[in-house]
Amino acid sequence: MGLLKNLTDLEKRVFCFIPMGIERKVSNEDIQMTFNLTDREVRQTIYDLIQKGIPVVAIKQKGGGYYIATTEAERQEGLRANKSQVKSELKRIKAVESIDLMNFRGIADEVRNG
């Protein structure tokens, strides 16, 4: 009962629209069309649901979509793409942070000015 009190009307409707379990999934586009939302509004609503304790995850490959994880295996499958993205972003951050900017400036000037 506490969960329902904390959800906005839109969050309740989207929550009820997202299937329980991995067998059926709903696409971002389906949510957009059903509730007349933008892509950004769908992603924000999903984020808000997660922050309020609803285990919404997604398969990001073709034929994928959002679903509510009901088992640990479903949760991990739905988080796989997120974990991969985080690893890639951390690698990118480390690479940029490791660049010697003083040395780079000289190299960049040389390349740009011949």
Integer angstrom CA distances of residue 37 from 29, 43, 45, 51:
9, 10, 10, 20
What is the predicted pLDDT for the residue at 13?
98
Number of compact structural domains in the chain: 1
Per-residue model confidence (pLDDT) at position 36:
98
Residue 4 pLDDT > 70, yes or no? no
Q: pLDDT, tens digit, for every residue of 18-27?
A: 999 999 999 9
Q: Is the pLDDT of residue 86 over 90?
A: yes
pLDDT for residue 63: 86
For residue 98, what pLDDT is reported?
96
What mean pLDDT is predicted for residues 44-58? 97
Q: Domain with 20 in it: what CATH number?
A: 1.10.10.10
Q: Is the predicted pLDDT of residue 58 greater than 70, yes or no?
A: yes
Mean pLDDT of the chain: 94
Range of the domain at 73: 2-113
